[in-house]
Amino acid sequence: MLLRYLLLLLILLPIKALALIEVDITRGNLTPLPVAVSPLSIDENSKSSFKRILKKENIGSEISTIVENNLKQSGLFNPLDKNAFLQKPEIANLKPRFEDWNLIKAQALITGNVTFIDEKLRVEFRLWDVLAGKEMMALAFTTVPSNWRRVGHIISDKVYQRLTGENGYFDTRIIYVSEEGSKTNRVKKLAIMDQDGFNNKFLTLGNELVLTPRFSPTNQMVTYLSYFRNLPRVYLLDIETGMQEVVGDFPGMTFAPRFSPDGKKIIMSFAQDGNSDIYTMDLENRIVERITNHPSIDTSPSYSPDGKYITFNSDRSKFQQIYVMDSNGKNVKRISFGNGLYGTPVWSPRGDLIAFTKLHKGKFYIGVMRTDGTGERLLTENFYQEAPSWSPNGRVLIFYRETKTNSKGEGFSAKLWSIDLTGYNERMVETETDASDPSWSSLLSN
């Protein structure tokens, strides 16, 4: 009997010792992370040197403002009010007093300093985990002073990457079609700007109509359409050198050229005799290959980031819908089955989603769906909007939106807008003129 009890005790004891309580945490806050961006400290000599060169009173504050704005625009961070900061930048940069930053509810802190060394701008910055009281990252950059805005963007990218786990998208540019004049007499120029709207430049004079500029995913090359003697031509433009060339003369109309993921091919559609099919052109040997061969209208092709698949829109099922096929044109599958018309599919650089424009009951939507067509989510609805383009990290979409004109034909405008995948963080991107057809570059610092 005693032996039995002992055995029972032996069996039960380890069970009790192992019984650790487990609690599953499957929900949390989707509110932006509170972050304190302390102005970068700067010594008096450096301050006066930068003031002389850049005409900026305090370049340290200016750079930290860029970082602050970028983080805020992302919708993932909540930069705290600088007036609430208890520690001075010079001291915070040396050693933050975490209790002070904790007090204002900051969870992350950015500090740093700027110096003028050998006619160059040197920026050191550190990212701190306020709650853990430890440094998360420390980096220093040296560049020519005129690159100060880019330094702000690079710092933003590094912070974003460290805190979210995915690459940033701040050190990037956006190419778009600048529009001026009345709706019936628009002057369209090719223009480029930083993703935050600064450093805007016009690349063409507006003599010719320009359409659908698209950045290469690998470098600073752009392909676009421009009309010459009423015929569209596909051009290649190297943003770094300013050199450009005609890709080739193609029979019939050409539409929507776009780069392959390795930047070595251009995929586009040609229209002949009322039929439009998808073709690729190798940029090295200029060999053109036909990808689709169907009596319907196939347009707007876009490669998957691994280059194995192509998404496009086609009316082969009577109404315009989105399709996916192998890169050689085989295994064509329809993926959109919702009500309405679907167009301009663009494969996400992350590979997980396809963005599209949808027209349903007279309204335009920008949405995303998985690459098999499931999980359709409409992010934004408006009178007229289209042409989504992904940020290089696949988190944000930029597109353009037109406003309704009144009975006199007045009040028309076209503006760039961005929205992130949550569908909540919708913002207008400031441009000097009206704007359409935006395309996001890859990271410049890659």
Nearer to another protein, 246 or 253 (CB): 246
Angle at 163 between CA 111 and CA 25, to 5 degrees: 130
Q: Does 30 bind another protein (CB under 8 A)?
A: yes
Nearer to another protein, 248 or 411 (CB): 248
Positions 160 through 189 that interact with another protein (CB under 8 A): 160-166
Identified binder of another protein from the candidate list 5, 14, 28, 339, rule CB under 8 A = 28
| 216-252 residues labelled b (16+ CB within 10 A) or e (exposed) | bbebbbbbbbbeeeeebbbbbbebeeeebeebeebee
Q: Residue 299 CB, nearest distance to another protein (Å)? A: 24
Residues numbered 399-428 forming contacts with another protein, rule: CB under 8 A: 422
Instruction: Give φ, ψ of 3 to 5 degrees.
Output: -60, -40
Binding mask 234-273 for another protein (x = CB under 8 A): -----xx-x-xxx---------------------------
Q: Taking CA 417 as the corner, what is the angle to CA 415 and CA 420, rounded to the nearest 5 degrees? A: 175
Length of the chain: 446
Q: 């690159």: which residue's tokens?
A: 147
Choice between 51 and 105, CB closer to another protein: 105
CA distance 188 to 182: 11
Cα distances (Å, whole numbers) of residue 197 to 173, 318, 374, 412 = 9, 41, 34, 21
Number of residues that bind another protein (CB under 8 A): 74
Note whether 224 and 235 are within 8 A (CB): yes
Stretch of 60-68, 86-94, 309-317, 335-343 contacting another protein, by CB under 8 A:
86-94
Taking CB under 8 A as the binding criterion, the range among 30-38, 324-332, 399-407, 429-437 that sits at the site for another protein is 30-38
Shorter beta-carbon distance to another protein: residue 38 or 300: 38
Residues of span 277-306 touching another protein by CB under 8 A: none
Please report whether residue 58 would count as binding another protein according to CB under 8 A.
no
Q: State yes or no: residue 138 binds another protein (CB under 8 A).
A: yes
Q: Which of 45, 48, 182, 207 binds another protein (CB under 8 A)?
A: 207
Distance CA 299, CA 315 (A): 9
Please tell me the distance from the alpha carbon of residue 110 to that of residue 126, in angstroms, as a whole number.
6
Q: What is the CA radius of gyration of the chain?
A: 27
Report how far Cα 409 is from the mean position of its chain's Cα atoms. 33
Residue with the two structure tokens 């050199």 = 243
Q: Is residue 328 a contact residue for another protein (CB under 8 A)?
A: no
Regarding 156 and contact with another protein (CB under 8 A), the answer is no
How far apart are alpha carbons 87 and 106 in whole angstroms?
13
* Interacting residue with another protein among 70, 111, 156, 204 (CB under 8 A): 204
Which is nearer to another protein, 216 or 314 (by Cβ)? 216
Q: How far is the CB of 337 from another protein (least distance, A)?
A: 21
For residue 375, give the DSSP letter: S
| Cβ atoms of residues 254 and 246 within 8 Å | no
Amino acid at 174: I
Counting contacts by CB under 8 A, is residue 132 touching another protein?
yes
The reply on whether position 395 binds another protein by CB under 8 A is: yes
Which residues in 332-351 contact another protein (CB under 8 A)? 350
Options 154, 234, 278, 387; binder of another protein; rule CB under 8 A: 154
140 lies in the site for another protein, by CB under 8 A: yes
